[in-house]
Amino acid sequence: MARTVLFLAFCSVCVPFAEIASSAQTADAASPPAYKHPQLPVDQRVEDLLGRMTPAEKARMLAGSGWMESFPNERLGIPAIKMADGPMGVRNWAGSSAVTNAAATSPVLTTAFPASIGMASSWDVDLVQAQGRVIAQQVKALGRDMILAPTVNIQRTPLWGRNFEGYGEDPYLTARMGVAYIRGVQGEGVIPSVKHFAANNEEFERHRIDETIDLRTLHEIYFPAFRAAVEEAGVWGVMNAYNKVNGQYCAEDPFLLTETLRKRWGFKGFVISDWGSTYSTAGTINAGMDLEMPGGEPMRNWFARPATQEAGNGAGWLTEEKVLAAVAAGEVRQSAVDDNVRRILRVMFTAGLFDAPHVGGGEVDTPEQRAVARTAATESMVLLKNEGGLLPLDGRKTRSVAVIGPGAAVARTGGGGSSLVRPKYAVTPLDGIKEAAGAQVQVSYALGVAMPGEDATMDARAALDEAVALAARSDVAVVVVGYSFKLESEGFDRPSMDLPAGQDGLIQAVAAANKNTVVLVAAGAPVTMTRWIHDVSAVLYAWYGGQEAGHAVGDLLFGIAVPSAKLPVTFPARIEDSTAYGHYPGENLHVAYGEGIYVGYRGFDKRKVEPLFPFGFGLSYTTFEYSGLKVSKPTVKKGETVEVSLQVRNRGTRAGVEVVQLYLRDAEASLDRPEKELKGFRRVKLQPGQTETVAFTLDKSAMSFFDPGKKDWVAEPGAFEALVGASSRDIRLRGTFGLVE
Ligand code: BGC
């Protein structure tokens, strides 16, 4: 996993960054005057340009010119597509993860949003769309055209190093989030690239691993978010994954790129390779992969590194010379190359890159943009435990708060790798708590235990003793634990679900000293909590909260905001309970997805395993009552819809938001089906005592499963049960209907 090695040597999220302007990173001063014929329809402009291009000019368009740019064509006025990484904000684009995460390399300072797993915990599609919009505004302000996001790969195992980048374990929730993000981005005329198609669910040997996944599982679990991106959001760009699926590299798999993406779903955009994921010229073009990245000198330098080779990357296959040679040899038809160019140009015209180039220069990280990040952080943190109603803390009664732990005085804004954003500032939990507590409350800090790999200036025993003594003399102890971007990252998987060394012990020691102990976890996936969960009063799962995480923590602990987030993944008590256990990471470069469609709660339900916290779970400072479920008709004909409605009432004394979830059970089916599957959700904001009606419409797609025999989705006649609840294991209301021919 060579690419990760280099960036372990620095810390780029620990301190607020100085603002460094970089003119080379903004507008491309040398851009040629663009070809412009706005009066012509897009397809005509594409054909017009194509007709003027030489075979060499066409071939050149199939690979990047640099690390993050496609080839411009000055003669014809075709601009380069200028890219930047996402999804948690706009990341510096000057080189590989190893280079751009290094502290001194032309940092581009942008708004750091919560990790996508936190965004999914909000179950707030409007918020995610706003995030997409704001990120796209910053892409344009920096003179770029494309954001390499969103990541919609499913959380299959708690150990995947990139879990924080995705939207969790459920295909429906992931699809809703992905579609919202893409709509936000495309609405600004910026090109997204939904990634990584398909089934990039582990970092272990990600350039070589061959995954065996059956057709039904692909369609029901790993494809839906990509399908929705195409069919609902009309996404302009898709990035292929590094791994192999059923024996084929994703960049050269006609089943994925042509049969599924284009023919089955009607994708009209272009496919971009992941950085160094190509292994052939003819195979890649013929499969339907359009644009190979990176390219040019930066690609050659990077590819020449032993670490790149060792990792198993492939690159440099769609260079002009190689494409022309493949056409001359009859391995690739000229019409296939024309199609590649056509698809790239069509997106460029649709996004407005010819008519209104993104010259850059706008403001980045405006107060409005920061406000979106702050709302997002507040809506992303999940309250998992609140014994005796310790939270919210009362600023008038609490005299002292001890803030302890390796995550307390450091802003852990995101996980590591290509998604890591450098913000202009970042609020630590300690500072956020101080601000929310006000001058009356004494807020003190102790490290307790150092994060592995970070400077331990104090003797370990002394650090622990100091933290325990502080906890003992404080009214409340808040222990902030979790990972760092060096320990949870793209490029490698976590070795276990356990917290980093010393953190369990710290929580246990603090909890023994102070019964009012609150644990805050900053991580991108579930961690083992059974060693201390019963000893502490409260747990707030903060994920990586972006630059505003500290404010959100302060607001939530002191009740300035009320928690509303719910888990987008099942929290197993132990790794052995997780649904991919025994089918991960594979052997001899091969992994069989043996759990099939039974990923996450689908598997916990099937095997009747009790999770530590179920999918969809999260507490509030108020409680909600569900009543009056109605199903609009007892029987539904194929092609008709059915409505499920109910009332939700806020029974408490505080305003709050409830995420109401609708699951569907197919009671009679010719194939084995999950006990329940998420098919709808709503965020409902309710004042104390207020009641609101929530309604869901179910159509054929909600009732269907993928029949591998028919190679299609089918909705079989029979009984269905609608389950409405506050989590996947807290079903409050049930109703039935029958599907008839
Ligand atoms: C990652 C992609 C990323 C690309 C460019 C790859 O290593 O897998 O998600 O967009 O690098 O930085």
Secondary structure of 121-166 as H, E, C letters: HHCCHHHHHHHHHHHHHHHHHCCCCEEECCECCCCCCCCCCCHHHC
For atom 9 of ligand 1, the residue with the nearest CA is 418
Model confidence at 287, in pLDDT bands (50, 70, 90)? very high
For atom 5 of ligand 1, the residue with the nearest CA is 275
Residue with tokens 């939700």: 648
- How far is 647 from 644, CA to CA, in rounded Å? 11
Token representation of residue 142: 């920096």
- List active site positions: 274
- How far is 245 from 249, CA to CA, in rounded Å? 6
For the chain, percent of residues with pLDDT exceeding 90: 92
Token representation of residue 532: 């201390």
List Cβ neighbours of 217 (8 Å cut-off, separation of 6 or more): 593, 596, 597
Answer whether 274 contacts ligand 1 (Cβ < 6 A). Answer: yes
pLDDT at 697 over 50: yes
The upper half-sphere exposure of residue 701, i.e. CA atoms within 13 Å in the direction of its Cβ, equals: 10
What is the atom index within ligand 1 of the atom nearest the CA of 196?
Answer: 9
- How far is 437 from 557, CA to CA, in rounded Å? 9
For the chain, percent of residues with pLDDT exceeding 70: 96
Residue with tokens 């038809």: 333
Q: Using CB atoms within 10 A of its CB, is residue 710 exposed (0-12), middle (13-18) or buried (19+)? A: exposed
Tens digit of each residue's pLDDT (9 = 90 or more) over 323-342:
999 999 999 999 999 999 99
Model confidence at 157, in pLDDT bands (50, 70, 90)? very high
List Cβ neighbours of 583 (8 Å cut-off, separation of 6 or more): 591, 592, 593, 594, 595
Answer whether 418 contacts ligand 1 (Cβ < 6 A). Answer: yes
Nearest residue to 287 via CA among 273, 266, 274, 300: 273
Dump the DSSP string for 274-327: -TTB---SHHHHHHT--BBSS-HHHHHHHHHSHHHHHHT-B---S-HHHHHHHH
Task: Report the pLDDT value the prediction gives residue 9, as an integer from 0 to 100.
Answer: 27
Task: Report the pLDDT value the prediction gives residue 14, as an integer from 0 to 100.
Answer: 28
Tens digit of each residue's pLDDT (9 = 90 or more) over 442-485:
999 999 999 999 977 889 999 999 999 999 999 999 999 999 99
CA 567 to each of CA 154, 346, 379, 525, 730: distance values in angstroms, whole numbers, following the listed order: 14, 39, 12, 10, 13
CB 615 within 8 A of CB 568: yes
CB 302 within 8 A of CB 294: yes
SS3 474: coil
For atom 2 of ligand 1, the residue with the nearest CA is 274
- How far is 183 from 197, CA to CA, in rounded Å? 19
Task: Report the pLDDT value the prediction gives residue 352, as an integer from 0 to 100.
Answer: 96
What is the atom index within ligand 1 of the atom nearest the CA of 151?
Answer: 9
Task: Report the pLDDT value the prediction gives residue 355, as an integer from 0 to 100.
Answer: 92
Cα of 427 to ligand 1 centre, how many Å? 27
Task: Report the pLDDT value the prediction gives residue 593, as an integer from 0 to 100.
Answer: 98
The upper half-sphere exposure of residue 432, i.e. CA atoms within 13 Å in the direction of its Cβ, equals: 32
What's the one-letter identity of residue 1?
M
Of 39-43, 327-331, 432-436, the range with the lowest mean pLDDT is 39-43
The upper half-sphere exposure of residue 681, i.e. CA atoms within 13 Å in the direction of its Cβ, equals: 32
Nearest residue to 178 via CA among 133, 225, 144: 225
Q: Using CB atoms within 10 A of its CB, is residue 620 exposed (0-12), middle (13-18) or buried (19+)? A: buried
SS3 42: helix
- How far is 347 from 355, CA to CA, in rounded Å? 13
Answer whether 148 contacts ligand 1 (Cβ < 6 A). Answer: yes
Task: Report the pLDDT value the prediction gives residue 1, as an integer from 0 to 100.
Answer: 28
CB neighbourhood size of 672 (10 A) = 11
Task: Report the pLDDT value the prediction gives residue 31, as an integer from 0 to 100.
Answer: 55
For atom 8 of ligand 1, the residue with the nearest CA is 274
For atom 3 of ligand 1, the residue with the nearest CA is 418
With residue 35 as reference, give the H or E element that holds it: none
pLDDT at 30 over 60: no
What's the one-letter identity of residue 341?
V
pLDDT at 18 over 80: no
What is the atom index within ligand 1 of the atom nearest the CA of 100?
Answer: 12
What is the atom index within ligand 1 of the atom nearest the CA of 91?
Answer: 12
Bond prior to 198 in cis (omega within 30° of 0): yes
Task: Report the pLDDT value the prediction gives residue 23, as an integer from 0 to 100.
Answer: 28
Model confidence at 7, in pLDDT bands (50, 70, 90)? very low
Which DSSP symbol is given to 685? E
Model confidence at 32, in pLDDT bands (50, 70, 90)? low
With residue 355 as reference, give the H or E element that holds it: none
pLDDT at 21 over 70: no
Mean pLDDT (the chain) is 94
Answer whether 243 contacts ligand 1 (Cβ < 6 A). Answer: no
pLDDT at 500 over 60: yes
